[in-house]
């Protein structure tokens, strides 16, 4: 402590002896340069932190969306009755979300749609009012395919087989999550 007080005293005496009234122009420019570099470093650190936060948040949302959509399709198709593939895959809604005959619509989003009332839709993440799960996660792009595999139930294989493929990417096209799921549902063999 004495050493610091002594150093401060020496600097104070030196400043008084030199008759200096303030800082020189070079000292001021050097101080401003240091402040500018420090503020630039802080700004860049904040930008990087924000970018990492958004990236990790999008990854978490992508995983949540994938899990939710997979569970939704699996639940809907396994509780469905009277599955028919004559004009696309339609079924009677076993969960009661839409009621009546409906279908799963895929593409850049996924939802359950009534056959009789096409305006009646149910989105698995945002419910009846939303416009799709991709609106939930900021600027994510979804590519979803739900399709039947094989011919349907037969005497030798009494199961409906479906495949759900989901790819989720960010706005730059970087893939965040990807999954391919096979779903088996016991079915009734159709009489031809």
pLDDT of 182 strictly over 90 = yes
| Boundaries of every domain in the chain | 49-186
What pLDDT, on the 0 to 100 scale, is given for residue 38?
92
**pLDDT band at 85; cut points 50, 70, 90:** confident
What pLDDT, on the 0 to 100 scale, is given for residue 7?
60
What pLDDT, on the 0 to 100 scale, is given for residue 48?
95
Least confident of 19-28, 62-71, 115-124, 154-163: 19-28
pLDDT tens figures, 89-101? 888 887 788 888 8
What pLDDT, on the 0 to 100 scale, is given for residue 178?
94
Q: Is the pTM of this model over 0.95?
A: no
Q: What mean pLDDT comes out for the span 37-55?
A: 93
Do residues 104 and 112 touch, judged by C-beta distance below 8 A? yes
CA distance 84 to 133: 26
Reading the block at residue 114, the tokens are 């009534």
What pLDDT, on the 0 to 100 scale, is given for residue 20?
57
Q: What mean pLDDT comes out for the span 6-27?
A: 69
**Cβ of 131: how many Cβ atoms within 10 Å?**
12
């Amino acid at each position: 402590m004495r050493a610091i007080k002594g150093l401060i005293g020496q600097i104070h005496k030196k400043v008084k002896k030199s008759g200096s009234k303030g800082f020189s122009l070079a000292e001021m420019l050097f101080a401003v340069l240091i402040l500018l570099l420090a503020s630039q470093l802080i700004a860049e650190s904040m930008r990087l932190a924000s970018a990492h936060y958004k990236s990790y948040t999008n990854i978490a949302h992508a995983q949540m969306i994938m899990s939710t959509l997979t569970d939704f399709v699996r639940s809907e198709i396994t509780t469905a009755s009277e599955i028919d593939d004559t004009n696309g895959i339609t079924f009677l809604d076993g969960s009661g979300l839409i009621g009546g005959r409906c279908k799963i619509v895929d593409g850049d989003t996924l939802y359950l749609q009534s056959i009789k009332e096409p305006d009646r839709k149910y989105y698995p993440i945002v419910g009846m009012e939303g416009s799709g799960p991709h609106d939930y996660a900021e600027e994510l792009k979804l590519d979803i395919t739900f399709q039947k595999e094989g011919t349907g139930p037969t005497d030798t294989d009494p199961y409906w087989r479906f495949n759900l493929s989901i790819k989720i990417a960010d706005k730059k096209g970087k893939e965040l999550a990807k999954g391919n799921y096979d779903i088996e549902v016991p079915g009734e063999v159709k009489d031809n």
